[in-house]
Amino acid sequence: MPLNRLKQSTTLVAVLALVGSMASLCIGTSFAKTLFATAGAQGTTALRVGFSALILLCVWRPWRLPLSRANARAIALYGAALGATNLLFYMALRTVPLGLAIAIEFTGPLAVAVSSSRRAIDFLWIAFAVAGLLLLLPLGQNVGTLDPVGIGYALAAGVGWALYIIFGQMAGNAHGGQATSLGLTVAALVVLPFGLAHTGTAMFSPALLLAGLAVGLLSSAIPYSLEMVALKRLPRRTFGILLSMEPAMGALAGLVFLHETLSAQQWLAIASIIIASVGCTVTAGTRRRDTAPA
């Protein structure tokens, strides 16, 4: 009995850690969006990624560990994809509500998850994801309800997220802390020129630097740390199902902190994409069993 209670307590801690991670990310992103008027999406991205990289470099001190040329190349690709994803996502947030941008971006990892399978059930999840996107795209009478350019940026961020997953798996041979900290450093180098070109030296004003530090902590350092706690204690399937709730949490954060209201159709679109993500996660174990050698 004590063992069962300990197990339940460990699971509860992990679930709370993951929920806290998503909440911190959504709150941090909501706060970041308020900086767009001063620093622009480009400058805000540079501040977020730059401070995140500095924090993780101090924590992990990756220079202490050996790094092969193959791992360095994989980390460079992983970091470039991470930087591009962050920049494109923040560019989308200029005109697209937070919850919708997250939902659209989720199509990237969904595509990666189902790309290696041809089972009928996987096409069902694709159908849900496509249905959600069709509900969001400004087609027919809905033209003008959402900015097409913003949607394009969100879709591009989804592509970046898919590449981030692929390159992250390639970088998996390196130490986790080393790969993450060096990858974020590369990401910072990718986005910094865009931030400087848009914001100039004003990006280094004390007020913006302090705000950027807060964004970096809330949007990256704290969520990544809490995710590590959850990953060590939760089965991969449970982790994926809970993570699928992020678009809804983003929509709620947008409503509370940014006063972004969504229509019933847009909530339905978010629900459809969440169903696709949950379904894909639930059937992932079955997919591995089906394809495993006897």
- In angstroms, the CA 163 to CA 81 distance is 6
> Phi, psi at residue 133, to the nearest 5°?
-65, -40
Answer yes or no: are the C-beta atoms of 243 and 20 closer than 8 Å.
no
pTM of the model: 0.87
7 — pLDDT class (breaks 50, 70, 90):
low
Residue 28: closest CA among 236, 214, 283, 291: 214
The residue extents of the domains of the chain are 2-291
pLDDT digits (tens, 9 = 90+) for 22-72: 999 999 999 999 999 999 999 999 999 999 999 989 988 999 999 999 999
pLDDT digits (tens, 9 = 90+) for 90-132: 999 999 999 999 999 998 988 887 776 667 788 888 889 989 9
* Residue 214 exposed, middle or buried by CB count within 10 Å (0-12, 13-18, 19+): middle
